[in-house]
């Protein structure tokens, strides 16, 4: 996005409870921490800000840090407060593989509309669970799985965060917060390689992908 300063905000303060091996950002995949993967993937950004879990430090020159909060939303609040770019991209460190082409698509959309997120189609049949039984089938073509990064004009995201804090509302991502404020959020085609590491078995997938990433100079 020529001429517009872009800050990349990395919430890395989660405790990684579902994997159960400590803060996820510091788990290693392909010999590097998830945080290092994300920092490398966004090395082009004008500004990088990382939200850290309590007691963790990051001594990388040129990278700003803030403390994370109890929830993801609180961590992102602290990140947006510290950011100075006109546009901010919020990206979960739990998604180590950053596909540059998808990020470029997202930036184009943010330039056009002020708010956008990456999202991918639902690959499986989607069904309601009703007391352990197969319930109504949801028409999956009308649904998307939401990824990060999500991009916004900084002022827009900052206002939404301040209002949510004032009202005591918590959302699981930033697109919801902005949409709650009545502002439309564009859906941009994501990339399945940008999946979120959530459960222990996701680390196996990530190890496989890490090999591809390291063996070909610019696979993305």
Residues at the site binding ligand CTP, with contacts judged by CB under 6 A: 11-18, 24-25, 51, 68-72, 75, 92-94, 196, 198
Partner in contact with 194, chosen from ligand CTP, Mg ion, none, beta carbon below 5 to 8 Å by kind: none
Whether 69 contacts 75, CB under 8 Å: yes
Measured from the CB atom, the residue of 127 and 204 that comes closer to ligand CTP is: 204
Among 100, 115, 102, 116, CA closest to 42: 100
| Torsion angle (degrees, nearest 10) of CA 165, 166, 171, 176 | -110
Nearer to ligand CTP, 60 or 127 (CB): 60
In terms of CB distance, is 68 or 114 closer to ligand CTP?
68
Stretch that binds Mg ion, among 9-17, 103-111, 126-134, 170-178 (CB under 5 A): 9-17
Pick the closest to residue 113 from 87, 79, 92, 146 (CA basis): 87
Can you tell me whether residue 150 is helix, strand or coil?
strand
Partnered with residue 120 across adjacent β-strands are: 145
Distances from the Cα of 220 to the Cαs of 57, 106, 165, in angstroms? 30, 15, 37
Beta carbons of 51 and 118 less than 8 angstroms apart = no
**Residue window 14-53: x/- pattern of binding to Mg ion, with contact defined by CB under 5 A:** x---------------------------------------
Residue 11 binds what, of Mg ion, ligand CTP, none (CB under 5 to 8 Å, by partner type)?
Answer: ligand CTP
Pick from ligand CTP, Mg ion, none: which does 59 bind, CB < 5 to 8 A by kind? none
Q: Based on CB atoms, which residue is closest to Mg ion, 14 or 41?
A: 14
- Print the SS3 string covering 50-113: EEECCCCCCCCCCCEEEECCCCHHHHHHHHHHHCCCCEEEECCCCCCCCCHHHHHHHHHHHHHH
- Minimum CB distance to ligand CTP smaller for 70 or for 163: 70
The distance of closest approach from Cβ of residue 43 to ligand CTP in the complex, given in angstroms and rounded to an integer, is 18
Q: How far is the CB of 74 from ligand CTP (least distance, A)?
A: 6
Nearer CB in complex with ligand CTP: 30/108: 30
* Strand, coil or helix: 114: coil
Partner whose binding site includes residue 70, from Mg ion, ligand CTP, none (CB under 5 to 8 Å by kind): ligand CTP
User: In the complex, which residues of this chain contact Mg ion (CB under 5 A)?
Assistant: 14
């Amino acid at each position: 996005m020529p001429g517009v300063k872009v800050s990349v905000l990395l919430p890395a303060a989660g405790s990684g409870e579902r994997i159960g091996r400590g803060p996820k950002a510091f788990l290693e995949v392909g010999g590097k921490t998830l945080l290092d993967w994300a920092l490398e993937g966004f090395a082009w950004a004008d500004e990088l800000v990382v939200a850290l879990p309590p007691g963790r430090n990051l001594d990388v020159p040129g990278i700003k840090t803030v403390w994370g909060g109890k929830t993801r939303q609180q961590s992102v609040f602290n990140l947006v407060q510290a950011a100075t770019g006109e546009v901010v991209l919020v990206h979960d460190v739990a998604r180590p593989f950053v596909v540059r082409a998808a990020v470029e698509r997202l930036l184009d959309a943010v330039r056009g509309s002020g708010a956008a997120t990456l999202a991918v189609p639902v690959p499986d049949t989607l069904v309601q669970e009703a007391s352990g039984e197969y319930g109504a089938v949801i028409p999956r073509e009308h649904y998307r799985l939401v990824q990060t990064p999500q991009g916004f004009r900084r002022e827009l995201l900052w206002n939404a965060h301040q209002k949510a804090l004032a009202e005591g509302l918590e959302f699981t991502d930033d697109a919801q917060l902005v949409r709650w404020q009545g502002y439309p959020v564009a859906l941009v085609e994501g990339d399945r390689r940008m999946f979120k590491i959530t459960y222990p078995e996701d680390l196996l997938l990530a190890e496989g992908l890490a090999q591809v990433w390291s063996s070909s100079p610019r696979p993305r």
